[in-house]
Every structure is written in C-alpha cells, then in structure tokens.
C-alpha cells in the first residue's frame, strides 16, 4: 500500500510536470499569438442582479463600439477583442474580475463599474496592476488618479443646471430622496448647495439603503413637508417601487419630480407612463438630440440591435463614447500600451460624438461635454434646454494631475 502510493505519487509528479510544461508552452504560444493578432479590452458590468437594468445597455454599447471599430479596420491594423465579465451586482466579484482581466487576459484597458462603490473597489486593483481604467457612469466627482478616465457627468455639470432649472419651473422648496451610499449622500449635498445658492430651501432629506421597497411613511412625510418638487437620487430595482407607490397615492399629480437617475436603467419603459410623466432629467445624452452624428448613430445602432431597442441610456452612451476616446488615444500613441495611451489622452483629445463635442480634460481626466435638460412624456424624453461644453469644475477644484501626477485619491469635495 505504501509502496503503491509512493509509486503513484512519483508517476503523478512526472506526468504532472510534463503536463504543466505542455500547458505552459501552450499558453505562452497562445499569448504571443494573441498579442500579434488583437488588442484586448475588458468590460466589467452588472449584467444580472439589482443593477442589471443599468448594466445591460452599457454592455450593448461597448459591444457595438468594438464592432464598429473592427468593421472600420480595427486599431493599428489589429482587431479589438472584447472580454466580458458579468459582475452580478456582487461587490466581491469586482476585484476578482479586475485581477483576472489584468493578470490573466492582460487587457489594454478595463471599462466598467456602475456604482461608485464598485469603482472604488476596482480602481486600486487596476492601478496596482498597471491597467488603464475607464469609468463611464455619472457620479459624485472627486476621483483623482492618472490611471482612470471618468466619462460620466459630475455634480458641477449636472446639479448646477438641473436644480436651478427645476426651481425656476416649480418653486424653491425641495425634498430630496437619495440612495444611502457615497453617490446618494454626496449628490444630496450638492443638491443642497445649489438649492441654497439659488435662494431655495431643502424641506426634507431622506436616505434609503438599496434594498428598501416600502416608501409608505416617507410619502406621508413628504406630504407633511409640502415641497414644491422632489429631487430623487434613487438607485436600482428596489427603489423603482417608489415611483409606483407615489403614483398609487395619487401624488404624481400633486408634486412634480426631478431625478438624477431615472431612465439610466430604461425605467421609463418598465414603469407606466402615468408613473413617469413630467419627471425632469439632466444628462449629457438623450436620444432626442437633433444632430447628424446622433441620427446616424441611432440608425446604425437600431440596425444592429433592432428597431424596437428600448432606449440608448446616458450610461450606455458614455460607455460607447469612452471606447472611441480610448481608440483615439491608441491611434495617437501608436500603441495600446498603458503609459503612451495615457499621455496621448492627456494631450487634449476631443471628438465629435453622438452626444456632441466630447473632450478629455487633462488636468482631471474627466470630460468636458454638453449638458441637456429633458422631460419624460409618454415614455419619450423631450429636450427643454441645452448648455454647451460644461467643465467638471467640482473635480478640477481639488484635483490637478498635471501638478501632482502621482495623486491617487477620491476627494470628498467640501460642498
């Protein structure tokens, strides 16, 4: 028995070593081949779980951008291959898949992360592993890290227009409902700032964990406070029930709503028109943008994904455009290597994209872009007002990557 197991172990070791050597060779060969053949990028998005409504359109957008670039001949003569990871709305999967993308797939860039919490999990991992990172969600501002580019809009671009516009339209008393994590808390603080600066008053402020579904007593509190309108920073599937309960109480006809997040998960298609009519939005992109670039984009997109595709969301467009920014950086650098691409992107790349002129601000690695106010009517969004080329002033107030290239902070901007 002992002999036997000894022999077994020895043979096992031999075969094992042989197999390992074989595998090693194969993988080295495979990698060398892949490097010649394609440029790899990875997407890490929540395609299932509570945030899937936001993640799926982003995945379609990145798929579409990669296909378009490949059909046009690829980058530097190579095709782009997209590696997709579904992070399942599970915070543990973000660092794990970030590591896999960086170490196993050796991608040139990672695109993704939806909530700010997930970004702050991915960012240090990708920085440590020297892998370029694009974060394409509107967020609270303040990230200062040379390894990341943020293409989403920040409060100085969004709330600075959205809050005063709504106050002019409806009145000066605001009740804020927000998700209870960094994005919701900080966005509520910015809302307070722009409200008081414009002579308004916050009459109530409530925060909800992402799994809260019962808003009954909150709806009574709102009625008691009698605001002129609601400012909503609600996030995810569970919070959707607020819109249902609000309408069920008949309040949708009494107090109007402005929302920072409505439509990023195509909610206007899931909820009924009565539940969403009149909600005031503020984004970089709406499908209704009347520009040749956008019309051409929508034609191509609907050919690929069908004429009945629900809606190209803000986050989807930011994701699509971020791939083009990255591709422009790669072209300019002549390589997909990280540092040359970062330097090329910092040289002030500016593109005409479906959402209008879109430029990288070298000082903050955020973007300068047009901002639009829209309003939902029967599942369509009409554009009411446009503001051209808004700077990410919140982040540029605290972050200067030209002066401090080694900065690696998430500044919580004092509001």
Radius of gyration of the chain (CA): 24
Which among 296, 358, 399, 319 is positioned nearest to 63, based on CA atoms?
Answer: 319
Helix axes 159-170, 182-197, angle to 10 degrees: 50
Asked if residue 221 binds other proteins (CB under 8 A), the reply is yes
* Residue number, 256 or 354, with CB nearest to other proteins: 256
CB of 312 to other proteins, least distance (A): 19
CB of 415 to other proteins, least distance (A): 21
Asked if residue 218 binds other proteins (CB under 8 A), the reply is yes
Binding window for other proteins (CB under 8 A); candidates: 149-157, 209-217, 289-297, 351-359:
209-217
275 three-state secondary structure: helix
Residue with token string 């090329």: 344
Which among 74, 116, 318 is positioned nearest to 210, based on CA atoms?
Answer: 116
Binding mask 38-67 toward other proteins (x if CB under 8 A, else -) reads: ----------xxx-xx--------------
Using CB under 8 A, pick the residue from 16, 30, 216, 405 that binds other proteins: 216
CB 175 within 8 A of CB 205: yes
Dihedral pair phi/psi, residue 320, rounded to 5° = -55, -50
CB of 241 to other proteins, least distance (A): 5
Residues of span 308-347 touching other proteins by CB under 8 A:
none
Using CB under 8 A, pick the residue from 88, 115, 176, 375 that binds other proteins: 88
Asked if residue 185 binds other proteins (CB under 8 A), the reply is no
CB of 79 to other proteins, least distance (A): 31
For 31, 50, 100, 120, 199, the CA distances from 26, given in Å and listed in that order, are 9, 39, 19, 36, 68
* Residue number, 88 or 154, with CB nearest to other proteins: 88
Asked if residue 237 binds other proteins (CB under 8 A), the reply is yes
Binding window for other proteins (CB under 8 A); candidates: 113-121, 250-258, 345-353, 354-362:
250-258
Distance, CA of 276 to CA of 295 (rounded, Å): 25
Distance, CA of 96 to CA of 107 (rounded, Å): 15
Asked if residue 240 binds other proteins (CB under 8 A), the reply is yes
CB of 48 to other proteins, least distance (A): 4
For 179, 249, 310, 383, the CA distances from 255, given in Å and listed in that order, are 20, 11, 28, 21
CB of 315 to other proteins, least distance (A): 17
Distance, CA of 153 to CA of 282 (rounded, Å): 10
DSSP 161-210: HHHHHHHHHH-SEEEEEEESSHHHHHHHHHHHHHHHHTT-EEEEEEEE-T
Asked if residue 92 binds other proteins (CB under 8 A), the reply is no
- Tokens read off for 205: 């402020």
* Residue number, 55 or 142, with CB nearest to other proteins: 55
Residues of span 165-184 touching other proteins by CB under 8 A:
180
DSSP 48: S
CB of 163 to other proteins, least distance (A): 23
CB of 379 to other proteins, least distance (A): 14
Binding window for other proteins (CB under 8 A); candidates: 64-72, 232-240, 351-359, 407-415:
232-240
Q: What angle do CA 293, 299, 305 make, to 5 degrees?
A: 130
Asked if residue 273 binds other proteins (CB under 8 A), the reply is no
Binding window for other proteins (CB under 8 A); candidates: 92-100, 238-246, 305-313, 323-331:
238-246
- Tokens read off for 48: 């299932």
Question: Where would I find the H helices in 181-313?
Answer: 182-197, 216-225, 240-248, 267-270, 273-276, 292-305
Using CB under 8 A, pick the residue from 165, 181, 207, 305 that binds other proteins: 207
| Sites of contact with other proteins (CB under 8 A) | 48-50, 52-53, 88-89, 180, 206-209, 211-214, 216-221, 223-224, 236-238, 240-241, 244-245, 247-251, 254, 270-272, 275
């Amino acid at each position: 028995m002992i002999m036997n197991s000894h022999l077994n172990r020895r043979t096992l070791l031999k075969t094992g070593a042989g197999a390992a050597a074989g595998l090693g060779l194969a993988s080295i060969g495979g990698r060398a081949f892949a490097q010649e053949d394609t440029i790899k990028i990875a997407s890490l998005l929540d395609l299932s779980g509570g945030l899937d409504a936001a993640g799926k359109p982003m995945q379609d957008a990145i798929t579409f951008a990669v296909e378009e670039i490949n059909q046009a001949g690829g980058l530097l003569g190579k095709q782009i291959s997209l590696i997709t990871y579904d992070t399942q709305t599970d915070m543990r999967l973000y660092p794990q898949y970030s590591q896999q993308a960086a170490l196993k797939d050796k991608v040139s860039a990672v695109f993704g992360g939806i909530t700010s919490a997930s970004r702050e999990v991915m960012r240090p991992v990708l920085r440590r592993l020297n892998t370029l990172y694009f974060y394409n969600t509107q967020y609270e501002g303040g990230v200062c890290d040379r390894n990341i580019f943020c293409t989403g809009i920040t409060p100085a671009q969004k709330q600075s227009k959205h809050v005063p516009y709504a106050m002019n339209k409806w009145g000066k008393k605001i009740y804020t409902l927000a998700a209870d994590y960094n994005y919701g808390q900080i966005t509520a603080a910015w809302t307070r700032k722009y409200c008081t600066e414009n002579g308004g008053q916050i009459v109530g402020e409530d925060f909800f964990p992402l799994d809260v579904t019962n808003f009954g007593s909150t709806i009574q509190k709102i009625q008691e406070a009698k605001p002129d309108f609601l400012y909503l920073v609600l996030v995810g599937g569970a919070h959707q029930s607020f819109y249902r309960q609000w309408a069920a109480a008949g309040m949708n006809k009494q107090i109007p709503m402005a929302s920072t997040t409505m439509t990023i998960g195509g909610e206007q298609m899931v909820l009924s028109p009565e539940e969403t009519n009149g909600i005031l939005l503020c984004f970089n992109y709406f499908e209704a943008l009347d520009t040749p670039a956008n019309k051409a984009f929508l034609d191509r997109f609907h050919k690929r994904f069908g004429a009945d595709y629900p809606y190209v969301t803000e986050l989807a467009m930011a994701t699509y455009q971020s791939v083009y920014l990255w591709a422009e950086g790669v072209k300019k650098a002549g390589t997909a290597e990280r540092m040359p691409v970062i330097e090329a992107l910092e040289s002030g790349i500016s593109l005409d994209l479906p959402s209008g002129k879109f430029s990288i601000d070298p000082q903050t690695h955020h973007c300068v872009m047009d901002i639009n106010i829209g309003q939902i009517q029967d599942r369509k969004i009409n554009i009411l007002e446009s503001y051209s080329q808004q700077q990410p002033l919140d982040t540029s107030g605290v972050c200067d990557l030209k002066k401090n290239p080694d900065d690696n902070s998430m500044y919580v901007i004092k509001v």
